[in-house]
């Protein structure tokens, strides 16, 4: 990929949301110390760090945890039933 194509991945990389071949490609590219992409990724990392301190952390309500766990269990059940047919 070109530097111009990789620009779209800076934010996802900084957020830890980039994976698969895109992540590997950007890591390899940055490993070559690209003078175009390295500052862009640093800027995205800095922005994410600043944004993370802009809000006050809070504990989610217990009912939210219960709902999330229930949804995960439900998805596990669906996956198991699909595996029987696969």
Q: pLDDT, tens digit, for every residue of 33-83?
A: 999 999 999 999 999 999 988 888 888 899 999 999 999 999 988 877 766
pLDDT value at 14 more than 70: yes
Q: What is the DSSP string of the chain?
A: --HHHHGGGHHHHHHT---HHHHHHHHHHHHTT-TTHHHHHHHHHHHHHHHHTSS---PPPHHHHHHHHHHHHHHHHHHHHHHHH-
16-39 per-position pLDDT tens digit: 999 999 999 999 999 999 999 999
**Fold that domain 3-85 belongs to in CATH:** Arc Repressor Mutant, subunit A (1.10.10)
Prediction pTM value: 0.64
């Amino acid at each position: 990929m070109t530097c111009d194509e990789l620009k779209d991945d800076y934010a996802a990389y900084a957020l830890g949301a980039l994976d698969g071949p895109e992540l590997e490609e950007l890591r390899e590219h940055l490993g070559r110390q690209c003078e175009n992409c390295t500052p862009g990724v640093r800027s995205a990392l800095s922005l994410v760090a600043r944004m993370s301190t802009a809000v006050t952390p809070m504990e989610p309500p217990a009912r939210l945890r219960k709902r999330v766990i229930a949804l995960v269990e439900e998805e596990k059940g669906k996956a198991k039933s699909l595996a029987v047919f696969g």
